[in-house]
Structure 1
Amino acid sequence: MDIHQRLTELGKAKREAALPEKCQRERMKNAIRAKAPKQEAGRRFLPVSIAMCWLVVMIGVLAWNPADLREELLSLGTKPPQSAGGTENSVIAHNQETPAQTMAQSKTMTPAKMMPNESAFVLAEKYPFARELIELIEKYSNLEVKKVEDSLYAGVFKNTSQAVLLETNRGKVDLVFFPNKGDAEKVEIDEDFTVSGNITFTFTGAELRDGVAPLKAKGPTYQFSHDNLLVLSAKSEFVLAFRNMFALYENYQDVFKTFELDMSDYEYIHPSKQKSLPIGVSEQAVKELEAWVWRYLVDKLQAGDLRPGEYVNKKRDEAVVVYKAADATHHLYRLKWDAAKEDWSVVSHESKLGNELK
């Protein structure tokens, strides 16, 4: 046998010996390919899951109504309130946004449908002590009162039984009215979180009735005090809502006093809810008043200025726009309504040095 034939036979033998290994590799490849579609399907499913999650998130974002938080984003600050358990609850910075930003938000708002000059709720005769405050809430805050009920806090303090529970568009809030100015500002909450699932609290700074403490709660209780009013809620946003409401009202009140105007002669036009208008004041007049503020005042406002307040006269075709500047200058614009042109014209602009922003 020559060398060439011998090498040929050896090569054939090695190929035959390697064949099972090759077949095994083929079987392994086939097994891998058989599993590959399932893995690919899993990978294809992942982007679909992510897409569905993003769809849910986007629906939630689109459904959120910016009008619900508009009052907080206006010229009075945005510092979140703390729980009443130890830290101060009523210190919120003024004017965190620039006036241009707040006016831009105001321009994009769709005013609420106007209703006749009547209360948004039926106030029971047994709560006359709360009537004035609830009217203030309806005019100057972003809250809408739906219902007035008895409050459990009516039986907590020795020197007052005047308390109501308000059901609003933001949830429920308790209001306690003390007999003397400044009484509520002495009250503080002392909370106990040491036992999980068993939160209790009591009050200091006021005498409590026998056997009422400790009170139980599901979470932190937030408070806001103003003169003789104590606001209590499980939602911290009520602290900001009442803080902003009183600050707006009292600052505008200062401007009216500076120019010796009677505030009761005018009706305040809330930027995002307009339910109570004087007889004879049209919806178009209110829209044009807001447009006038946007056109002529937005560029004049500086950082730190109070948001302009719009008021229409209850007896004649007149409106005033008032605001406090950061330098303590009080501004008053008097406007006259032209029914034929459906537009407001400026009668006068006065400015005086007055009290600083509260």
Structure 2
Amino acid sequence: MTSLFDPIQLGAIKAPNRILMAPMTRARGTRGHVPTPIMVDYYAQRASAGLIISEAIGINQLGLGWPYATGLWLPEQIAGWRKVTDAVHEAGGRIIAQLWQMGRVVHPSFLDGGQPVSASATTAPSQAHTYDGKKPYEEARALSVDEIAEIVQHFRDGAKNAMEAGFDGVQLHAANGYLIDQFLRDSSNFRDDQYGGSIENRVRFLRETTQAVVDTIGADRTGVRLSPNGETQGVKDSDPLPVFIAAAEALSEIGIAHLELREPPLTGTFGVGDMDPLASQLRSAFKGPLILNSDFDMARAQAELSAGIGDAVAFGRPFISNPDMPYRLAEGIPLAPDDATTWFTQGPEGYIDYPAAAQAVAKSA
């Protein structure tokens, strides 16, 4: 029986266990989107994860609309991330960069008043996080075909820069209502050209960006994240299963190293699916390692690995307050709770001050 503690080959990366660290935005960069010294400590503390998938990292200013998030398009950003990856490797870990283009959920204040972009002229619901508090989203304009090609090139450049920064690979963020997801699903894509209408056309942008990254750094260092089973940031599909079967088959054909599915359950604690997770139905469409994500505890994670639904599980919030999470799970040590009020603050509190289990015991003795 496959165990969470068994090693797994994820393309070029040999992970010593199947307890992966999911990508989580934590807002600890600078306004210039450069990683800070506390980020070096944060990621190194969590190096025992089978694989760390970094927080989402912007590929260009047009697509980065989160305060204090980081980028990978400027030399100083690459150099800042190099300090992080060096520290993770020195601690015995493995880390890949999640590449991010947010599309319509970029507020114009991040663009000096310019207009955000998307598959079609649509507006995200709710409000954006900005440097001046929450503000309503504004309508995005539809990308031209030439502009789509430019963004594909930006993903290619982002992958190249990630490798220069010392990452072991990349993951394309094609989930959670961001730009690639805005092309995939019919609530946000109303195009009538080669990027809209049919499922094949809506998958085209995902296929092109993935192929560009694969051509740049190799399929064995490329992963993708999808979110099939529900609405996120106003993006959903009227019939998601065939869309995501087609997407998984396209990615399998390209030969990427791994596919992550973020699928909150119907009773999730952070995001709720519109339907049960589709992983079991997508399993046969993707021939490589399948990573499951969202609201897993150890028992559910082990059960789904044992059932053959997935090959590894990416844990998010538990890694915030449990930097040595694989050790705690292996030893049956209860997980420490996290403080949600510090998720997106800029200081060390709630970021690098959660102790490892042994430190916690010594401190209480």
TM bucket by the smaller chain? under 0.3
Q: Structure 1 or 2: larger strand share?
A: 1
